[in-house]
Amino acid sequence: MNKIVIGNLKMNLQSIEERERYLKEFSKELIGKKFQNTEIVLCLPFVHLEGFKKWKNKKVIRGALNVFWEDKGSFTGEISPLMLKNFGCQYVVVGHSERRKYAREEDSDVNLKIIAALRNGIKPILCVGENAGQKARGLNIILEQLKNCLSEVSGGKIENIIICYEPVWAISSNNPDHLPTTNEIMSAGLIIKKFLVGKYGVKISEKVKIIYGGSVSVATVKQACVESGMDGALIGRESLTPREFLKIGEIINQ
**Which residues contact ligand PGA (rule: CB under 6 A)?**
8, 166, 171-172, 213-216, 234-237
Quote the least distance from Cβ 242 to ligand PGA, whole Å. Answer: 15
Catalytic residue among 166, 184, 238, 244, which? 166
Quote the least distance from Cβ 190 to ligand PGA, whole Å. Answer: 21
The dihedrals phi and psi of 122, each to the nearest 5 degrees, come to -105, 135
Q: Is 96 a known active-site residue?
A: yes
Q: Identify any residues that bridge with 8 across adjacent strands, giving them in sequence order.
A: 43
The dihedrals phi and psi of 212, each to the nearest 5 degrees, come to -120, 145
Q: Identify any residues that bridge with 125 across adjacent strands, giving them in sequence order.
A: 93, 162
Q: Residue 75's CB: how many other CB atoms inside 10 A?
A: 12
Nearest position to ligand PGA, beta carbon: 236
Residue number with CB closer to ligand PGA (43 or 82): 43
Q: Residue 50's CB: how many other CB atoms inside 10 A?
A: 10
Residue number with CB closer to ligand PGA (16 or 103): 103
3-state secondary structure of 41: strand
Beta strands per DSSP E along the chain: 3-8, 38-44, 60-64, 91-94, 123-128, 162-165, 209-213, 232-235
Quote the least distance from Cβ 173 to ligand PGA, whole Å. Answer: 7
Residue number with CB closer to ligand PGA (8 or 80): 8
Residue number with CB closer to ligand PGA (153 or 234): 234
Q: Is 166 a known active-site residue?
A: yes
The DSSP symbol for 214 reads S
Quote the least distance from Cβ 19 to ligand PGA, whole Å. Answer: 19
Catalytic residue among 39, 48, 96, 238, which? 96
Which active-site residues does the annotation give?
A: 96, 166
